[in-house]
Chain A
Amino acid sequence: MNSRDKSSGLCSRRHFVQASAFGLGSMALTWLLQKDGLLAAPAMPDLKPRSFDMKPKPSHHEPRARAMISIFMVGGPSHIDLFDPKPLLKDYEGKKFPGELKFDNAGQASSKVLPGLWEFKKHGSSGIELSSLLPHLAKVVDDICVIRSMKTGVNNHHQSIYALQGGRISAGAPTMGSWLNFALGSQSQELPAFITLTHPEGGPELAERNWSNGWLPSLYQGVGVRPKEPRILNLDPPHYLKGSGQARQLELLRELNQEHLSQHPGELDLEARIASYELAARMQTAAKEAMDISGESEATRKLYGVDQEHTRDYATRCLIARRLVERGVRFVQIINNGQSWDQHSGLVKALPELCAKSDQPTAALVADLKARGLLDSTLVHWGGEMGRLPVIQNDLGREKIGRDHNTYGFTMWMAGGGIKGGMTFGETDEWGHHAVKDIVTHHDYHATILHLFGLDHSKVIYRRAGHELTLTDHKSARVVREIMS
């Protein structure tokens, strides 16, 4: 809940608040002044956090990415049916899988080989093969890097989600957005630096643990945004307090809270709550505008699919994600409901439906970012916590078949922010079961992302009770330079 490092944080924060006692306008000004001042300050060699705040902080090296949009598809999209063609499976269709398999749901397991159910074709000048379920992604395939050798090796949803979100396979660790903001601070004075856009049909498996600050100070907690309007509640002050009335309230509130904090030195939760009021005050004007896509052109809305019923939700959220990134939000996560990509059964119907909802908006996001010159500095990620097995689960007729979990080899893709487009990376075995070539673990994935943000994963350290904690947990983690442009 809180850390032990309380050194000079208090002092600088109080100074900051006192300097901005003239209300919101001057507050933003102070912030900007401090921002410049801080950037000029000597870099701390190990990024040791002297104070917990959201002020921008220098990176270790020149960053390629300034923001990230992670489209996290919980459940485990079937790489065999979408991204990773395996012709051999056709030859063995319906026959016994010759190797060893690890099942999650042994009760319904079979070892009958199930080839990809949809046709693969080459696309773009890169000739990357994608299944017919992803016609829109095919159009931007030259901008994405398809990593076919992902591996967490922990065969359950929870552990694998934890692994990809926070670098450990157990609960309680901070997620990537929290780490990035801890290391780099926020680029926006008006919006939370870490936002998750949730699905209208419900929260994801593990709920807000997908955007948890874990044991980092609660200042770095992700903000879950409602899936429907109003996406953020309570943005409108009562009419008579709008403007100077509320500014006066906030000023008094800051003074009272500072006085209270001074009587409770080192209580980071109290400090975080003070910061949350400052952010909330600014969000009132900024958040609504950022979430409002009504000003987007007809062409843009059409590109994403806002005009069609089945794509509207994803389209709107992808478009909002772009708007947030444009406004300086560091990390936006688009997440689905439950574990909706978890097709243990009913694959034939469910997978095309899921793709139909998300394919166009996702591809549009990449194309739109590129057209606006934002793709170079915005890292886009699409993928879930696992893939599927090359054999049938629930062998009760074509309508009912599905595939069980596979965390030993699966696919995700990334684009922009220094990622090389039009390439595939890594391979699974000829069955699509185990990653065998250029394996990318969750630690490698994290190390690579931090690298793109200009950070050395082993040097983004949070000190706590005598321990040096990192996102990659001191595990072997490789920056995958091969996929960088």
Chain B
Amino acid sequence: MSAYKSHPEVADRPTFLNRACDRTRPGLLASVLAWILLIAGLAVEPPSFGSTPTTPLSFERDIRPILKAHCFHCHGEGEKLKGGVDLRLRRFMLTNSESGSVLVPGNSAESLLLGMVASGKMPKGEKKLSSAETAKIQSWIDSGAPTLRPEPDKVARFFITEEERNFWSFQPIRRPQPPTSIPPSIGSNPIDHFLWEPLHQRGLGFANPAARGTLIRRVTFDLTGLAPTAEEVDAFVNDASSEAYNRLIERLLASPRYGEKWARHWLDVAGYADSNGGVSADSERPWAWRYRDYVIRSLNADKPWDQFITEQLAGDELVNPPLGDLQGDDLDKLIATGFLRLAPDPTGDEPADPDLAKNQVIADTVQIVATSLLGVTLQCAQCHDHRYDPIPQTDYYRLRAFFEPAFDWKHWKNPNARLISLMSAEDRHHASCLEHAAQAIDGDANRLQDDLIEEFVQKQLELVPAAMRGQVIAARKTPADKRTEEHKRLLGEFPTFQDQIILGEINAPGAKRVEEVRKRAAEIRAMKPIDPLVHCLAEEPGKAVETFLFHRGDHQQPAEKVAPGGLTVLQGLANDSALAPCSNSTRRTTGRRLQLAKILTDGSHPLVARVLVNRVWHHYFGTGIVPTLADFGMLGEKPSHPELLDWLASEFMSSGWSLKKLHRRILQSTTYRQSSVNTAAQAVDPDNRLLGRMRPRRLPSESIRDAMLAISHRMNTNMYGPSVPVAVSPQGQFVVGIQVRDKDGDPAGVDGIGGSEFRRSIYVRVRRSMPVGFMETFDSAGLSPNCEARAVSTVPAQALMFLNDHFVIERSTDLAERLRKEHSGDVRKQVDLLWKLLFSAPPSTEELQRSLVYLAEQNETLRAQAAVKTQEKPDLKAKPSAGEPDPSLQALASLCQVLWASNRFLYLD
């Protein structure tokens, strides 16, 4: 264990998104091992990869992974075999290299393999083998360099070993039996049985059940992203029925707010944005919201996830043209394919290298699919065989081939050219008639303007000596840059004719008349029916686009042709053998994506369900059973409770891929309902990998903002529709609202939108270049191209936000007004309600007393300040009007603000 002591990356390594592939992660394998050894000490499922000291070393299990990570690039899997040395099989090493014997079994001193790595001559470059790895190679050679089994006679350049095939995440999902002999006090939920056993082995148990107020706050935020109301808290706390908690869960799952909370989680991984990104233009994607609404609707309806996934990958294959006439569920299927249009896409914004940009859009889409559904870092195989996972470069292009006909990069359509109109023929006709009428009026306006100007010119000409009039007119009509010296002299003399005449400057009433005519045209245009568009992916008929493996990932270097297919390592597991041509005869499309959807959702795919349930788990417990949510490969972390993961995945699928059923299972568990304090468990397991307690989790940015809106009685609960705009505030921050501009078109302020600015955060526009300050500060999703897992930061900017930000101050005032309205004149009751609203619990006696003292003192301070102000401005000495600040309201608001800023509000206990 000491050999691995210095690798911290894994245990706390956030899941990062690297657009470029992070090719080498030194020591990461070792650190995975180190971490696993550590966890093994905690009596969680012992690791199945890596050998325990008692097992004899073998090539396949112990040596090959080291050589694959460090050496295969030049010695086996690369295009050229450097120095004639091939390290892929033991028997290859027995043939002599150019400089001597690579491997002499039983004699490490004679073996070049050891000499090269031990001396640091190999591998070239900075990254050397660790001493532990070198030691392993040495003892393997000295023990006779054994293999586990006879090596194959023939191998392809890239081949997958039995050990790699046996890697945990590539195994079929089984349905493990929950441990038996669990004490009855643990209850009957299998989740608890899986978790209790490893705790018990360490002499630990679950924490006590959380207090009822804590529990309702936890589950309400977790399911709806909002705080429970004071009435809901009271009702639950006072409901002694054994069914109270189940009823609570059902009520929350049935709330439309549920879909708004959980859609956000999926939109993170899908990389949802309302703008195209990629270049600084970051043009808007005005119709992306339909996909966002589709996700919310689907989750609220508990659409089975096999269907949900299928629609997103291939909804266009499930409906019949004409697409513009689709309605209801069929229309939703088309909208679902918006999933495949979420990658940054600057191809309509004149990117420097258009082909490169197109290729990147497809690459990002493949990455989104792979990270969201497969949980593998497939993007690492875009340029070369995967360094750590058994994923050859061809696998990357096999997956890409499913999407190739729909994207068809040689006949690319820019974002605006792909929108599908849902306008009816009738509306279309109506719109065109109105446009004609408007244009006619525009013509009238132009004529009137010309006439009025001409009238003015003629009048002015009268002031010019008659003999010169002709010349002046000629000079006026000559464009400024072509005027002769004579022209210029003349116009200098009669400057009225120098420039383009602006009607407004010479005839204000006339200009007004023209404006009025134009206004009529605008009014008519405003009556035109809006053309409803869908931002989606629809494969066009008859596209037989071929996919080529790109040499080193360079789209200008196509190499061999590649057919669609799943991961090679899963062959024979996931049902991808039946890749028969599956074109849709009605639409004459290839049907490839539908085929992919079938492979992923037919219940035999080992990754999809595991990846999904693991994400759900992560949202409840702050860490996944596999902490690296989007990497279930060799460099990812191993599951802390592999059997539980499989049980959940299998339960999820056998319950009809119902997310709500999965929620119920988890929420009803003792594990979820326990308190956050368990001193014994914390001492042994400070990372809480054994889940002997709940851990305080900071609210996500959306929940913070939404809860503040709801509690302050400001929230606008309207659902769906175009995104709420974002503007830049005078303080330089991006905020929700309409941009007010000055006469030069520069931002000059922000206006409200009639209450729409108080809609839930999921409806706020995601403009990549204009992240809303409040949300960004609290770690909203980064999009490059998607967000596999959010960071959780603690920085002074967050503190400053709660101390001074307009949004916080305004919501505090709103809340103070609400408290006063509900308990007019009774400060105690106001404080009591405040506590219940924010913390789902009344204040303790001390807390109440402390708050009252605070209010009295703050009141005093603010009143004194206000008095000074009034004295400074004696003219305002008259009685305060309604618009003037009220110190006692400000004092109460300042208390609300403190509570909002507190950890008790910001964290779920």
* Bound CA span A158–B556, Å: 24
Closest CB-CB distance, A5 to chain B, in whole Å?
9
**Interface flag for A11 (CB, 8 Å):** no
Given A233-B800, A245-B862, residue A159 in contact with residue B795 (CB < 8 A): no
Find out whether the CB atom of A234 lies under 8 angstroms from the CB atom of B800. Answer: yes
B residues less than 8 Å from A485 (CB atoms) = none
Find out whether the CB atom of A257 lies under 8 angstroms from the CB atom of B732. Answer: no
Given A218-B793, A257-B902, A269-B698, residue A168 in contact with residue B799 (CB < 8 A): no
**Interface flag for B773 (CB, 8 Å):** yes
Find out whether the CB atom of A234 lies under 8 angstroms from the CB atom of B794. Answer: no
Selected interface stretch from B9-17, B201-209, B291-299, B520-528: B9-17
B residues less than 8 Å from A134 (CB atoms) = none
Find out whether the CB atom of A280 lies under 8 angstroms from the CB atom of B796. Answer: yes
B residues less than 8 Å from A269 (CB atoms) = 696, 698, 792, 794
Instruction: Using CB atoms, name the residue of chain A closest to B7.
Output: A467
**Interface flag for B250 (CB, 8 Å):** no
From B6, B35, B551, B796, give the contact of A469 (CB < 8 A). Answer: B6
**Interface flag for A272 (CB, 8 Å):** yes
**Interface flag for A481 (CB, 8 Å):** no
Find out whether the CB atom of A233 lies under 8 angstroms from the CB atom of B733. Answer: yes
B residues less than 8 Å from A408 (CB atoms) = 125
Instruction: Using CB atoms, name the residue of chain B closest to A229.
Output: B732
A residues less than 8 Å from B477 (CB atoms) = none
From A171, A201, A263, give the contact of B16 (CB < 8 A). Answer: A171
* Bound CA span A219–B796, Å: 10
A residues less than 8 Å from B24 (CB atoms) = 154, 159, 169-170
Find out whether the CB atom of A260 lies under 8 angstroms from the CB atom of B904. Answer: yes
* Bound CA span A152–B126, Å: 6
Given A158-B22, A159-B22, A234-B800, residue A252 in contact with residue B854 (CB < 8 A): yes
Find out whether the CB atom of B696 lies under 8 angstroms from the CB atom of A264. Answer: yes
Selected interface stretch from A236-244, A304-312, A328-336, A354-362: A236-244
Bitwise, B306-349 to A at CB < 8 A (1) or not (0) is 00000000000000000000000000000000000000000000
**Interface flag for A61 (CB, 8 Å):** no
Selected interface stretch from B531-539, B566-574, B643-651, B890-898: B890-898
* Bound CA span A437–B26, Å: 25
A residues less than 8 Å from B18 (CB atoms) = 158, 171
* Bound CA span A228–B126, Å: 39
**Interface flag for B885 (CB, 8 Å):** yes
Closest CB-CB distance, A228 to chain B, in whole Å?
7
**Interface flag for B182 (CB, 8 Å):** no
Q: A221-270: which have CB < 8 Å to B? A: 221, 223, 226, 228-230, 232-238, 240-241, 244-246, 248-250, 252-253, 255-257, 260-261, 263-267, 269-270
* Bound CA span A204–B862, Å: 45
Bitwise, B877-909 to A at CB < 8 A (1) or not (0) is 000000001010010001101110111101101
Find out whether the CB atom of A266 lies under 8 angstroms from the CB atom of B23. Answer: no
Closest CB-CB distance, A429 to chain B, in whole Å?
15
From B5, B9, B796, give the contact of A171 (CB < 8 A). Answer: B9
Find out whether the CB atom of B898 lies under 8 angstroms from the CB atom of A256. Answer: yes
**Interface flag for A276 (CB, 8 Å):** yes
A residues less than 8 Å from B795 (CB atoms) = 218, 221, 223, 276
Q: A160-192: which have CB < 8 Å to B? A: 163, 168-173, 192
**Interface flag for A349 (CB, 8 Å):** no
Find out whether the CB atom of A276 lies under 8 angstroms from the CB atom of B8. Answer: no
**Interface flag for A473 (CB, 8 Å):** yes
Find out whether the CB atom of A270 lies under 8 angstroms from the CB atom of B686. Answer: no
Interface centre among A6, A228, A252, A267 (most CB of B within 10 A): A252
Interface centre among A152, A244, A261, A272 (most CB of B within 10 A): A244
Closest CB-CB distance, A208 to chain B, in whole Å?
8
Q: B846-868: which have CB < 8 Å to A? A: 847, 850-851, 854, 857-858, 861-862, 865-866
From A235, A238, A253, A266, give the contact of B682 (CB < 8 A). Answer: A266
Selected interface stretch from B151-159, B662-670, B801-809: B801-809
**Interface flag for A352 (CB, 8 Å):** no
Q: B671-690: which have CB < 8 Å to A? A: 676-677, 679, 682, 686-687
Number of chain B residues whose Cβ lies closer than 8 Å to a Cβ of chain A: 84
Instruction: Using CB atoms, name the residue of chain B closest to A475.
Output: B6
Instruction: Using CB atoms, name the residue of chain A closest to B798.
Output: A276
Closest CB-CB distance, A196 to chain B, in whole Å?
11
**Interface flag for A466 (CB, 8 Å):** yes
Interface centre among A170, A218, A223 (most CB of B within 10 A): A170
Given A246-B803, A272-B794, residue A230 in contact with residue B898 (CB < 8 A): no
Find out whether the CB atom of B28 lies under 8 angstroms from the CB atom of A170. Answer: yes
**Interface flag for B430 (CB, 8 Å):** no
Closest CB-CB distance, B796 to chain A, in whole Å?
4
* Bound CA span A4–B20, Å: 33
Bitwise, A73-115 to B at CB < 8 A (1) or not (0) is 0000000000000000000000000000000011100000000
**Interface flag for A48 (CB, 8 Å):** no
**Interface flag for A464 (CB, 8 Å):** yes
Find out whether the CB atom of B903 lies under 8 angstroms from the CB atom of A257. Answer: yes
Given A172-B13, A234-B805, A280-B800, residue A154 in contact with residue B862 (CB < 8 A): no
* Bound CA span A281–B901, Å: 13
Given A158-B20, A249-B898, residue A276 in contact with residue B799 (CB < 8 A): yes
**Interface flag for A446 (CB, 8 Å):** no
* Bound CA span A408–B799, Å: 43
**Interface flag for B797 (CB, 8 Å):** yes
B residues less than 8 Å from A274 (CB atoms) = 903
Interface centre among B809, B862, B902 (most CB of A within 10 A): B902
Instruction: Using CB atoms, name the residue of chain A closest to B555.
Output: A107
Find out whether the CB atom of A252 lies under 8 angstroms from the CB atom of B732. Answer: no
* Bound CA span A467–B909, Å: 29
Closest CB-CB distance, A146 to chain B, in whole Å?
22
Closest CB-CB distance, B906 to chain A, in whole Å?
7
Closest CB-CB distance, A197 to chain B, in whole Å?
14
A residues less than 8 Å from B794 (CB atoms) = 218-219, 221, 269, 272-273, 276
* Bound CA span A260–B676, Å: 12
Find out whether the CB atom of B26 lies under 8 angstroms from the CB atom of A276. Answer: no
Closest CB-CB distance, A393 to chain B, in whole Å?
13
Closest CB-CB distance, B17 to chain A, in whole Å?
10
Instruction: Using CB atoms, name the residue of chain B closest to A255.
Output: B850
Show 14 residue pairs from A and B whose CB-CB distance is below 8 angstroms, ordered by the A residue.
Answer: A153-B125, A170-B24, A171-B13, A173-B8, A223-B796, A238-B809, A240-B885, A240-B887, A240-B890, A252-B850, A267-B695, A267-B696, A281-B799, A464-B8
10 smallest beta-carbon distances between A and B, as pairs: A153-B126, A280-B799, A107-B554, A172-B13, A170-B25, A234-B800, A234-B804, A218-B794, A215-B12, A280-B796
- In the complex, given contacts A172-B14, A473-B6, A474-B6, what are 11 additional A-B residue pairs having Cβ atoms less than 8 angstroms apart? A107-B557, A154-B126, A169-B127, A192-B796, A215-B9, A233-B797, A245-B862, A252-B895, A269-B794, A276-B798, A468-B5
Contacts from B to A (Cβ < 8 Å) = 5-9, 11-14, 16, 18, 20, 22-28, 34-35, 38, 125-127, 280, 551-552, 554, 556-557, 676-677, 679, 682, 686-687, 695-696, 698, 731-733, 773, 782, 792-801, 803-805, 809, 847, 850-851, 854, 857-858, 861-862, 865-866, 885, 887, 890, 894-895, 897-899, 901-904, 906-907, 909
Contacts from A to B (Cβ < 8 Å) = 1-2, 4, 6, 105-107, 151-159, 163, 168-173, 192, 201, 207, 209, 214-215, 218-219, 221, 223, 226, 228-230, 232-238, 240-241, 244-246, 248-250, 252-253, 255-257, 260-261, 263-267, 269-270, 272-274, 276-277, 279-281, 283-284, 407-408, 441, 464-470, 473-474
